Amino acid sequence: MGDLIGLVAVSAPFLMVLGIVWISSQKKLEAKRIAVTAEHSAEKAAQYASHTRELEERVRVLERIVTDRGYDIATQIEALRDTRTVDSRGQVESSSDVPLNIEKQERV
């Protein structure tokens, strides 16, 4: 029993030092983990903000098309969609599966 008490008395200070070193290293690792997570979150937020700006700009363009140029949207869509090509036999080929024969509706 006396040998066990002596062993504990001698090894306790070393175990305490090891525990303190381990706890401090864990704190440093956690601080680095938090910093990396914050940096990643800021990067994602910047990407989302950029994407949102792009979408807002596209919506503004669409609003201008509708309000500034009247309701001749079907013709504009048709012009954008009309990417037909001519093959070697002189046949017209369409590059999309969307029908190209949209009739213009008159406003009442």
pLDDT at 88: 60
Which is more confidently placed, 108 or 71?
71
Distance set, CA 54 to CA 47, 61, 103 (Å) = 11, 11, 31
CA distance linking residue 35 with residue 15, whole number of Å: 30
pLDDT tens for each residue of 41-86: 988 999 999 999 999 999 988 888 777 655 666 677 777 766 555 5
